[in-house]
Amino acid sequence: MSEGRYNTSELLICTASRLMPDKTTVFVGTGIPMLAGSLAQKMHAPDLVAIFEFGGTGAILEELPIAVGGQRTFHRAVSASGLLEIIETAQRGFVDYGFLGGAQIDPYGNLNSTVIGDHAKPKARLPGSGGGNDVGSHCWRTIAIMRHDTRRFVEQVDFITTPGYLTGPGAREAAGLPVDTGPYRVVTTLAVLGYEEESKRMMLLETQPGVSVDEVVENTGFELVIPDDVGENPPPSDEELRILRDEVDRNRLYI
């Protein structure tokens, strides 16, 4: 799949970067979303407003932050506040996109980053919510970034850390979550996925380079919506890889 030019992390970073439009607000976290935001600013979205959980809003990502609370998340920012102010910003409807990860995801985009197994006696405890619930509840569009296999793409998550479309059409609104918010895309090592408008179930949009539709289906633990026309996501360009390696993560902290 790498074609020898790029690795899996670089593929995910470049794919996620393309989903960040210019002149929008994006809630980013440590790791791939952070690198994707920096790459987007340098490639096609110079006026992208990156928002970090611990208070940095609108930082220019010239140097890659170590974490979401690092000093570089405030570099030339338009605002330096705190955790509560950032979460309130999302609650007030000012954050367009939120990037998330998780150990499990189900057909309706519900994410689990809390436990594997029964909550009272789990097989494994995971890092937990952090801002995952707030991002998934209040950002207009959320994008999950995950490795793609049947352990992660499951019929029912063991615990809902981050609400997606819950049980289907109308469930988010019935739970009191803002209208017209919710999951937008899932970026994986095998595909780019979205959600069918009527059923709110996950739908295959594009395969990653060199990946077949059958491979995506085989590695998904539930029935995907498969449209008649499934595209192929373009591989990382030479320019994307150059900027990512030489400018965004030149010290190879992540890639």
3-state secondary structure the chain: CCCCCCCHHHHHHHHHHHCCCCCCEEEECCCHHHHHHHHHHHHCCCCCEEEECCCEECCCCCCCCCCCCCHHHHCCCCEECCHHHHHHHHHCCCCCEEEECCCEECCCCCEECCEEECCCCEEEECCCCCCHHHHHHHCCEEEEEECCCCCCECCCCCCCCECCCCCCCCHHHHCCCCCCCEEEEEEECCEEEEECCCCCCEEEEEECCCCCHHHHHHCCCCCCECCCCCEECCCCCHHHHHHHHHHHCCCCCCC
Active site includes 53? yes
Active-site entry in 53, 198, 232, 240: 53
Catalytic annotation, residues = 53
